[in-house]
Structure formats: C-alpha cells, structure tokens
Amino acid sequence: MLLLPVLLSLSVPVPAQASPSPEVKGVHPSLCPKYVPASSDRWFCLDGSRSIPWSAVNDDYCDCPDGSDEPGTGACSNSTFFCPNIGHVGASISATRVNDGLCEPECCDGSDEPSGVCPNICDQVGIEYRALLEQETKLRKTGSKIRASYISFAQKEKARLEAAVTSTKREVTARADELVRIKEIVDRTESLSSAALERKKLSPLFKSLESHSELLAALLALHKDRGQRLDTLEDILSSLRSGYNPNYQDMAVLEAVRGWEQVAGLPHINDVKKDEDESGEGSLPFDVQDDISSEETERQAESILNTDYLSLLMEHDEYAESPQASSTGLNFASYLPNSLTPAFNYIRSFTSAILGENSPPNDSAKVSRLGQSLSDAEARLREAEERLRNVQQELEDLYNPGVFGKHGEWKKLDRLCLEKDTGDYTYEVCLFGEARQKANSGGSVHSLGHFSSWRYDEEPGTPDYYSRQAFVGGAKCWNGPQRSVQVDLSCGLENELLTVAEPEKCEYLITGTTPALCTPLESEGNTKDEL
C-alpha cells in the first residue's frame, strides 16, 4: 500500500527540545513566544479581543472567544492541542479530543491525556515512520525520473505538433489554390462546346499525352507483377537458404544458395548460424530504402495516371494565349487602318459564329469529370482544414493543466490501456479513452464509460487533481443505471491497475499506480503539521 497520502499529511519532525511548561501545555512551538505574560501579569487572547489574568491560561475554563487561552485542555471546542511527540513527528488535534480517555494515534507520547493513561511509544513509532519515509522517498525519486521521461516526450511531441501545424497550413493553402484553379478550369470548360472539346482532344499534344499515359499504365502493371514474383522468389530462396543441410553435398542446391547470398549481399548461412544468438539472420535481402523508393515510384506513377490531361491541355492553351506568350504572334488587325477595324471585328465575329466556335454550352462526359474533380478538390480542402483544427487542438491540450498537465506529463499515457484480471472478468481502462469489462468465459464486453474528467474537486495543476479519472456513460445495467468507473491513481513505478471493486450497483472503483504522479519531493513545498 502506498504511503504518500499519509506521509504528506505529517510534518517534518520538530527538533528535539524540552516539553512546554505546564502553563503552556498544548502550544505549538511556533506560538510559544506569544504565551508569555505581560509585566502586569496579564495575557492577551491571540485574536486581541481581550486580556485575561495569566493564571486563567489552561485553567480548564474558556475565556477567549478564539479559544486560545485553553491550548492544553478541552475547555474550548474551537481550540487545538499540540502533541510534541519527541522522537517522532509533532501533531495537532482538536481540543475536544483532549482528556477524553482515548489514546489518540496522532499523539504517540500520550500528552493528550493525563499522565499514566497513555504510554509514550514515540520512539518505536518514529523508527517505523522513518523507515517508511525512506522507502517512500526512494519510490518517489525513481518514479520522478520516469515522470521526467514523460515530460521529455511532451517536449518532443510539442515540436512534432508545431511542425505538423506548419506543414498542414501549407497543405491547406495548396488545397485552396488547387480548388481555385479547378474552378477556373470548370468555368472555362462549361463555356466550350462539345465540338471544341473534341477538337482539343485531336491535337498532337493531347494524343501524345494519352499515349504516354497508356504506356505508363502498362509499365506500372508490369512493375507490380514483377515485384510480386520477385517477393515470391525471395521467400523461396530464403527458405531454401535457412533450411537446407550444408553437410548434404547437393551441388545444385549449394550453388543456388551461394548465388542468392551473393546477389542479395548476405553472409553465408553457416557463418550466420555460428553467431545466431548475438546477431541472428536479421539482415534483409535488399536495402529497405529500395522498397521505399519502389513504393514512392508507384505512388508517383499512379498520381501521373490520374492526371486530367484535357484540363492540363486547357491550362496550356490559356498560357499560350496569355499576352506574355502571344506577344510575338501576328496580330492582323494591328496592320489595318483605324477606319477598317470595326468592319474587320464584325466579320471575324460573324465567321466565328458560323463555324460554331461560340456555340452554347453543352454538357459532356468531360464536363462531368471536371465536376467530379471539383468535388474531390473541395473534399480534400475540407479534410486538410479538419486535420489542421485537430492538430491545433492537440497542441493546445498538450500543456493545458486541465488536460495533460502543465508539464505535458500525461500526454505519454494518452490512450494507454491497462488490464486487471479478477477471475471472472478482465477490466480494461484506456486512459483518456474508454473502460471495459470483459467476461473471461467468452461472454460479451460491456462498456464502463468514456473518460469524462479529472478530479473536479481539486485545483487543476495540483497532484491531487490528477489522482482520479472519471469514466461515465457506459452500457446500461439491467434494471439499473449506466455503468461508470472511478479510477484512483497514486505514485508507482509501473502503470498498472491494482484493485477492482463495485461499491454500488454498476458503479466501479479501480485503483492503480503511475509514474506520472511521482512528482519530485522538493516540488511538494514545505510540509505542514497534521491538523
């Protein structure tokens, strides 16, 4: 059982000193200077409300409203009594527990009762306490090192998320630009006639693009087929290499194995087996980078095959028709006298109409394909924007005291699943995720709820705040409430579940440990006397 909650409630042992005089019995050492009579043999209550004779202090009658005149008796219910506990740790208790005939565990010296009623066992208690404190200190010291590694993970995660935000923002910008470009193409395409589209498809450039596409598709299919056959051949040769008996002098098999090892760059199998325990046959037949390059090549080839060549051709035409691209061409109208320009423009427009170049828009399969491309581009932009929102939220939660802690120490445990077998059932708790109950006899799995919050009655950022996770909204019990779980955590060297209980119907209590709660001892601040 962990001792941290008990130890933190106790104070650092008060330096050995003589017990307070009978007149100031029950006074905390820090208040002793205030329990001195004035020159007139009068004494002021600690709240300054009145003065009383010095002889009225600890006379078993409550004179001061704040009860400060009776620190060593039970006369004032609002007063406290300090047990010196020489040899152990001093402690304070309510004055109502003084002289009640009971030996209070906080006062191992028995000073809360008349002399002879309770034995002084502080020496033995002090020895046991210091042994437990040493054990707890070692646990916290080791656990805090593991916790420090969690904090280091959070720092690396912060760098990763910041890089992801930057790259995703670039992707969103690129997707938005792509959408604008495709919209322009769709608008242009919808303004063209089917005949104009067909004429563009008859251009030498479009025909060449289609031929290249068909050839690339054939080569890609052949590449994939050869890759599958090569994988099968590698498996056969690897099995032959690892399974054949080198003492059996079959020269054909030996030559096949030797040839495979030479091509694949592998050591001879006999040399590998001599050092199998240390190195094994861990080397791959070929460089992994080759496989990565092959996969990347396939992805690039498939991307090229998915190109809309008609749209690409239209973009090329737009570029060719731009002022920069056509500035060197012949402009016949520029050579005409100004008086003939209106007539020329009329004749050109009339001729174009006759030839059908400005015919009304006409829906076609190609326009439908461009419409689909537009829808796909819009979907890709939405997906990129959603990824950006998600990664920004992840980055915001990383050092949020209400989520993963002010140091991000809990991020390492996000979705970490822990299990506890209780015989009939196995309980699984995925931190920040879902808790489940699984029947070991092969029955159904019940949800015990999803993560809802940390300990709501504590301040975010304090160790106690992270000592409990609440899971709510689980599967409904028959004739009962929805299942829920309270997971109480404490400092430990392992992330593990310790106990499972069901104090109320379908309301479960699970205890566990985690290094994430092993804060360094110095971070606890100054300890205080137990109240």
Q: What percent of the chain has pLDDT over 70?
A: 72
Predicted confidence band at 45 (pLDDT cuts at 50, 70, 90)? Answer: very high
Burial (Cβ within 10 Å: 0-12, 13-18, ≥19) of residue 483:
buried
Any bridge partners for residue 496, and if so which? 513
Q: Are 470 and 494 in contact (CB under 8 A)?
A: no
Q: What is the pLDDT of residue 422?
A: 92
Separation between Cα atoms, residue 407 and residue 154, nearest integer Å: 8
Q: Are 122 and 108 in contact (CB under 8 A)?
A: yes
Separation between Cα atoms, residue 336 and residue 483, nearest integer Å: 89
The sign one gets for the Cα dihedral 137, 140, 145, 146 is positive
Average pLDDT over residues 182-200: 71
Pairing of strands 484-491, 496-504: unpaired
**Best mean pLDDT range from 31-40, 359-368, 401-410:** 401-410
Terminal CA-CA length for the chain: 23
**Tell me: the pLDDT tens digits for 213-226?**
788 788 888 888 88
**452: phi then psi, degrees, rounded to nearest 5:** -115, -50
Q: How many CB atoms lie within 10 A of CB 91?
A: 24
Q: Rounded to an integer, what is the distance from CA 319 to the centroid of its chain?
A: 48
Q: What is the pLDDT of residue 402?
A: 92
**485: phi then psi, degrees, rounded to nearest 5:** -135, 140
Start-end of H helices in 265-364: 269-274, 288-305, 309-321, 323-326, 341-355
Give 475's contacts (C-beta < 8 A, 6+ positions apart). Answer: 446, 447, 448, 482, 483
Burial (Cβ within 10 Å: 0-12, 13-18, ≥19) of residue 142:
middle
Q: What is the pLDDT of residue 316?
A: 63
Average pLDDT over residues 415-430: 94
pLDDT at 321 over 70: no
Q: Tell me which residue of 517, 531, 528 sits closest to 458, measured CA to CA.
A: 517
b (16+ CB within 10 A) / e for 225-241: eeeeeeeeeeeebbeeb
In the chain, the amino acid numbered 458 is E
Pairing of strands 484-491, 507-514: parallel
Give 21's contacts (C-beta < 8 A, 6+ positions apart). Answer: none
The verdict on pTM exceeding 0.85 is: no
Residue 174: HSE in the Cβ half-sphere, 13 Å Cα cutoff: 9
Predicted confidence band at 334 (pLDDT cuts at 50, 70, 90)? Answer: low
**Tell me: the pLDDT tens digits for 266-299?**
776 666 555 544 443 444 444 434 554 666 677 6
From residue 73, how far is each of 23, 195, 259 by CA, in Å?
Answer: 11, 109, 98
**Tell me: the pLDDT tens digits for 472-501?**
999 999 888 999 999 999 999 999 999 999
pLDDT at 203 over 70: yes
- Residue-by-residue DSSP string for 158-217: HHHHHHHHHHHHHHHHHHHHHHHHHHHHHHHHHTS-HHHHHHHHTSHHHHHHHHHHHHHH
Separation between Cα atoms, residue 107 and residue 91, nearest integer Å: 7
pLDDT at 465 over 70: yes
**Best mean pLDDT range from 14-18, 132-136, 369-373:** 132-136
pLDDT at 408 over 90: yes
Q: What is the pLDDT of residue 486?
A: 96
From residue 200, how far is each of 161, 197, 297, 310, 521 by CA, in Å?
Answer: 46, 5, 30, 8, 77
Q: Are 70 and 43 in contact (CB under 8 A)?
A: no
Separation between Cα atoms, residue 93 and residue 104, nearest integer Å: 9
Q: What is the pLDDT of residue 148?
A: 92
Element of type H or E holding 503: strand 496-504
Q: Are 117 and 110 in contact (CB under 8 A)?
A: yes
The Cα diameter of the chain in Å comes to 132
pLDDT at 238 over 90: no
Separation between Cα atoms, residue 45 and residue 56, nearest integer Å: 11
Residues carrying CATH 2.70.130.10, the chain:
415-523
**Tell me: the pLDDT tens digits for 246-264?**
666 577 777 777 777 777 7
Q: Are 388 and 172 in contact (CB under 8 A)?
A: yes
CA angle 283, 289, 291 (to 5 degrees): 90
Q: Are 369 and 190 in contact (CB under 8 A)?
A: no
**514: phi then psi, degrees, rounded to nearest 5:** -160, 140
Q: What is the pLDDT of residue 328?
A: 45
From residue 253, how far is each of 123, 256, 270, 275, 333 by CA, in Å?
Answer: 81, 5, 14, 23, 82
pLDDT at 508 over 70: yes
pLDDT at 395 over 80: yes
Residue 142: HSE in the Cβ half-sphere, 13 Å Cα cutoff: 9
Coil, strand or helix at 501: strand
Q: What is the pLDDT of residue 467?
A: 95
Q: Which CATH class is domain 415-523?
A: mainly beta
**Tell me: the pLDDT tens digits for 348-383?**
554 454 444 444 444 445 566 777 888 888 999 999
